[in-house]
Chains A and B, each alone.
Chain A
Amino acid sequence: MPSTAALQLTPQGRLRHFLTTEGLPRDLMIQILDSAAQFLGDTPRDLKKQPLLKGKQVVNLFFENSTRTRTTFEIAAKALSADVVNLDISTSATAKGESLLDTLKNLEAMGADLFVVRHNQSGAPHFIAQHCTPDLAIVNAGDGLHAHPTQAMLDMFTIRQHKGDISQLKVAIIGDIRHSRVVRSQIHALHGLGCQDIRLIGPGTLLPRQGLAGTLHDDLREGIDGADVVICLRLQKERMASALLPSEAEFHRNYGMTLDRLAWAAPDAIVMHPGPINRGVEIDGALADSEHSVILDQVTNGIAVRMAVLCQVMGVEVGV
C-alpha cells in the first residue's frame, strides 16, 4: 500500500491531503509557511480574513475530543469564508457496529469538500484518505501516536518567526517522546527543513528505541546544552498509571524546565509548548510567562498555518 507520505500528494506533487510531515517536500513546507505569513496581520494576534474558500464545506470530524484543536480549525475555516460543520463522533458510536468506512460513506453523502479528522487510532486519516471519494480532501488533526502535522507546521512557523533559518538551529524536545504524535511530526518537519541537530530528551521509558531522527538524551542538561529552541511536551497523567513514570514531581525534578535551567541553553533560546501546559510539571509558570516563552504566538500562528493548509489541499493559491 502507498505510504502516508505518497498518499497525500497528487501525481503532480501538489498536496491533495495533509496527513503527515514525513517525506513532505521542502518547497511544500516553505509554501505553507509563506502562505501562513500572508494571513498574519500587522499586530500580533491579528488575522487577515480572505474569502478564499467561499462556498466550500469543511467538516470537522472529531472521533476524539479536542476543543482547542477543533476551535482553531473552525476559526481558520471561517476566516477563509468556508462553511463549517462540527461533528463529534465518539469512537463508541463506531464500536456499536457501524464501521469507520460506513460512517465515512454516510458523511460523504453530505457533500463536504474537506474533512478535518482527529482519531485515536494511528493511521485512521490515512485509512479515510484511501477510501474516500477522489474529490474530498483530508486534513489530519491528530491520529493516535502517529502524527499531528498542522501542530508541527505551526511550530516551524513560530521557530522561523523568532529564530530565522531552521537548518542552522539546535532544537531540544523534552518529555514523552515515545508516545507523542506531535514530536513525530515535529521531527519530520525539522528534518525536512534541514535541521541537523535535534535532541530528544526524557527518561528511558518515554524515549523511542529507534526509528526517529535525532539524538536521545536521558540527561536534561546534556540535552539542552546550547539549544536555540526548547520544546516542552505536555505530560499525560496516564503515564504514571502505566508504570512509565513514578510521579509528576519526580519528572519535574529531572526534566521540568525552569528559568534557571534555561541558562544551560543558548542565551536567546525560545521556549515552546503545544499546550495545554501543566504548570509545575513539564514547565514552570515563571518560565511559561517569561519573555523566552513563545507559547501564545504558537496559538495565533496555529490559525494562520491551518488557513494555509486548508487552502493548499483545496488547490487555492494564496495571493501575495
Chain B
Amino acid sequence: MSLATTGMIDLCCRLGENPAQTLQSAADLGYQAVTLPPYETPPQQPAIQLVKLGPITRELDGEHLAEMARYQVGGVAGVTQMHAPWKNTRVQLNALRYARGQNLVVHLLPLDEELGRGVAHDGDIAQRLGLETQPSAAETIALARDLQLIAETGVSAHIGRISCAESVRLIERAKSEGLPVTCDVAITHLLYNESMIEGYDYRYRLQPVLRSANDQAALIAGVASGVIDAVCSDHTPHALADKRLPFAQAACGTESLHLLRSGLIALVEQGAISESRACQAVSTAPAQILKL
C-alpha cells in the first residue's frame, strides 16, 4: 500500500464558511470520505462521500438525551458530545447506556470543562508567555472517567484527538483489558508541540492544546504501535478575523486537510512510523471505526 496514493478517510473535518470549497479541497487532496461533527451543513452535492456524527445530547447541551434512534435510522456513523461539557456524570452514564441500546458507537473527546479552559499546555512556554495553562490532567481526568463509563456500560467507543503521553498509556491499558475502544490523534499533534506558540502564534491555538515534545513523541510512538488506531485532519477553518487575534482570543483550530498525507509521509521518511501503519491509520482503521 502506498501512502502517496491511499484514499484517505477523515474522522473529523469541519466545513467552515465555504462547505463546497472545503469538500472540493478534500477531494483534490485524495480524501475518499470525511466525517462531519453534528450541526455541520453540507452542500447539496458534496464532492466526496460524507459520514455524519449525530449529537448524543440535544443541541449538545450535555443535559437532555438526543433522539439517537432517529439519528441511527438516518444513517449516522456514531454519536458524540464533541468538546461540549456534560452537565453531570449521571447524564453521561445514561447517554452511553442509551447509545449502546441503539447499537451506536460513541465518539468521545475527553476534556475536563474547568481545566480545559486554559489556552496552552502547562509548561515553560505558557508560563513565560503568561497564558492561562491547561494541564494534561484536563484530558486524562476526563479520559479516565470516560473509560470507566465505557466499562460500566459496555458501549463501543471511539476516543478522539488525544494529546498527551498519559492518554496513550490509559488507552493502551484499556485495550489490554479488552475494553471496546479505538482512538485517534490529530495530525497537528504529531507534527507540532508547544514550541509553536512562541511569539503568540495564533495559528497554533488548538483544542486540545499542543503539548510537550515528550507528549508529541509518545503520540507518534502510539500511532506506530497501533495503540492509536487512526490519524485525522481535525480540519477547522475559521474566518481570518476570528483567528488573527491575541492568542487567547483566537478561535480554536486550524486548517489542516493538507497536512494529513504530507505530514504522515514526513514521519514515514523519518522512520518514525512504517508506511503500512500510516496507510492503515488514514484508511482501513477509520473505515472500521466508522463501519464503512
Binding site for B on A (CB under 8 A): 1-4, 7, 22, 99-101, 119, 121-124, 126-127, 143-147, 181, 184, 208-212
A-B contact pairs, 17 of them (CB 8 A): A1-B201, A2-B199, A100-B249, A101-B241, A122-B200, A122-B246, A122-B248, A123-B129, A123-B247, A126-B199, A127-B245, A145-B130, A145-B132, A210-B124, A210-B127, A211-B124, A212-B127
Q: How far is the CB of A215 from chain B (nearest CB, A)?
A: 15
Q: Is the CB of A119 within 8 A of B129?
A: no
Cα A211 to Cα B201 with chains together (Å): 19
Please count how many residues in chain B sit with their CB below 8 Å of the partner chain's CB atoms: 22
From B122, which residue of chain A is reached at the shortest CB distance? A209
From B132, which residue of chain A is reached at the shortest CB distance? A145
Q: A2-B199, A121-B246 are in contact. Are A99 and B128 (CB under 8 A)?
A: no
From A211, which residue of chain B is reached at the shortest CB distance? B127
Is B123's CB within 8 Å of the partner chain A?
yes
Q: Is the CB of A211 within 8 A of B128?
A: yes
- B residues 237-272 touching A (CB-CB < 8 Å): 241, 244-249
Question: Which residues of chain A have C-beta atoms less than 8 A from B126's C-beta?
Answer: 211
Question: Which residues of chain A have C-beta atoms less than 8 A from B241's C-beta?
Answer: 99, 101
Q: Is the CB of B246 within 8 A of A1?
A: no
From A101, which residue of chain B is reached at the shortest CB distance? B244
Is B113's CB within 8 Å of the partner chain A?
no
Q: How far is the CB of A188 from chain B (nearest CB, A)?
A: 9
Question: Which residues of chain B have C-beta atoms less than 8 A from A100's C-beta?
Answer: 245-246, 249
Pick from B128, B130, B131, B246: contact of A127, CB under 8 Å: B246
Cα A212 to Cα B129 with chains together (Å): 11
Of A1, A101, A212, which is in contact with the most chain B CB atoms at under 10 Å from its CB?
A: A1
Q: Is the CB of A126 within 8 A of B124?
A: no
Cα A4 to Cα B125 with chains together (Å): 12
The 8 A CB mask of B106-136 against A (1 = contact, 0 = none) is: 0000000000000000111111111110000
Is B198's CB within 8 Å of the partner chain A?
yes
Pick from A7, A143, A210, A212: contact of B123, CB under 8 Å: A210
Of A119, A184, A209, which is in contact with the most chain B CB atoms at under 10 Å from its CB?
A: A209
Pick from B131, B198, B201, B246: contact of A145, CB under 8 Å: B131
